[in-house]
Amino acid sequence: GDSVRVAEELVKREQVSLLFGGFLSNTGLALTDYAKQRKIFFLAAEPLTDKIVWHNGNKYTYRLRPSTYMLVASLVKDAAKLKKKRWAIVYPNYEYGQSAVASFKTLMKAAQPDIEFVAEQAAPLGKIDAGAVTQALADAKPDAIFNVLFATDLGKFVREGNTRGLFEGREVVSLLSGEPEYLDPLRAEAPTNWLVTGYPWYAINTPEHKKFVDAYRKKYN
C-alpha cells in the first residue's frame, strides 16, 4: 500500500536510518512487515493492534502506545462491575476495531460468564451510517454499549445517539473517547458518565493532579 511505498522511498532515496509513525492498525502492520523484511528500525507511534508486537512482532519493531488488548483490559474490570447482562457493540470494521471487540468479548466472558451480546454493528471506517447504526442498537434493547468508534465516526454516532435517546438509561464503555483529540471536537455534545480510556489532563481539577502537571511541565518543558 501507500505506507510501504512511502517507507521504501524514504529508505532508498533519502537513506533514512529508522522509520517512525503510522496511524491506522492495518498500515502499522504493513510497516511492521516492511521493517522485518528490510531489517530497519520502526517505532510505531499510533497503531494499536496487538499484532504489531505479538503475532506479527519482530526485533526491529517497537511501539509507543498501549495495545488494543491493554486498553480493553483497563476497562473490563469496571465494565464488569456494572453488572449489565445484555451488551451491544459498535466498532470500525478494520483490524483495530475487530481486535478490540474480540478482546472485549473474551475478557468480559471470563469476568461475567452470563453476559450476552445482543447486537453488533461494524461500520466502514470514516463512513458510518449513524442513523441506521443507532437504530439497530436501540432495537436490540441492550443494557449497555461497548463502543470502539473514534474521530468523525464517533462524532456522528454521539450526535445521532443523543438525538434518538440511545444513551438514556444505558451504560456506555468506550475506547479512546476520553482522549483530547477525540473528546474536544464533540464540544457540548460530549456525553457524560461514559467509562472511557484517555487522559484529558486539562480537565482534571484535583490538587494531586495539578501537582503532577506542574512538576511534569517544570521538568520537561
| 21/196 Cα distance (integer angstroms) | 24
Q: Based on the domain organization, do 130 and 31 belong to the same domain?
A: no
Q: Based on the domain organization, do 107 and 196 belong to the same domain?
A: yes
Query: pLDDT at position 128, please?
Result: 98
Q: Based on the domain organization, do 93 and 175 belong to the same domain?
A: yes
Q: Based on the domain organization, do 134 and 56 belong to the same domain?
A: no
Query: pLDDT at position 209, please?
Result: 96
Q: Based on the domain organization, do 139 and 197 belong to the same domain?
A: yes
Q: Which residues of the chain have pLDDT under 70?
A: none
The answer to whether residue 218 sits within a structural domain is no
Query: pLDDT at position 139, please?
Result: 98
Query: pLDDT at position 141, please?
Result: 98
Query: pLDDT at position 87, please?
Result: 99
Domain range enclosing 91: 69-202
Query: pLDDT at position 71, please?
Result: 97
The answer to whether residue 126 sits within a structural domain is yes
Write the pLDDT tens digit of every residue in 83-136.
999 999 999 999 999 999 999 999 999 999 999 999 999 999 999 999 999 999
Q: What CATH number is associated with residue 189?
A: 3.40.50.2300
Query: pLDDT at position 221, please?
Result: 80
Instruction: Give the number of domains in the chain.
Output: 2
CB 198 within 8 A of CB 178: yes
Query: pLDDT at position 91, please?
Result: 99
Q: Based on the domain organization, do 93 and 197 belong to the same domain?
A: yes
Rounded to two decimals, what is the model's pTM?
0.88
The answer to whether residue 216 sits within a structural domain is no
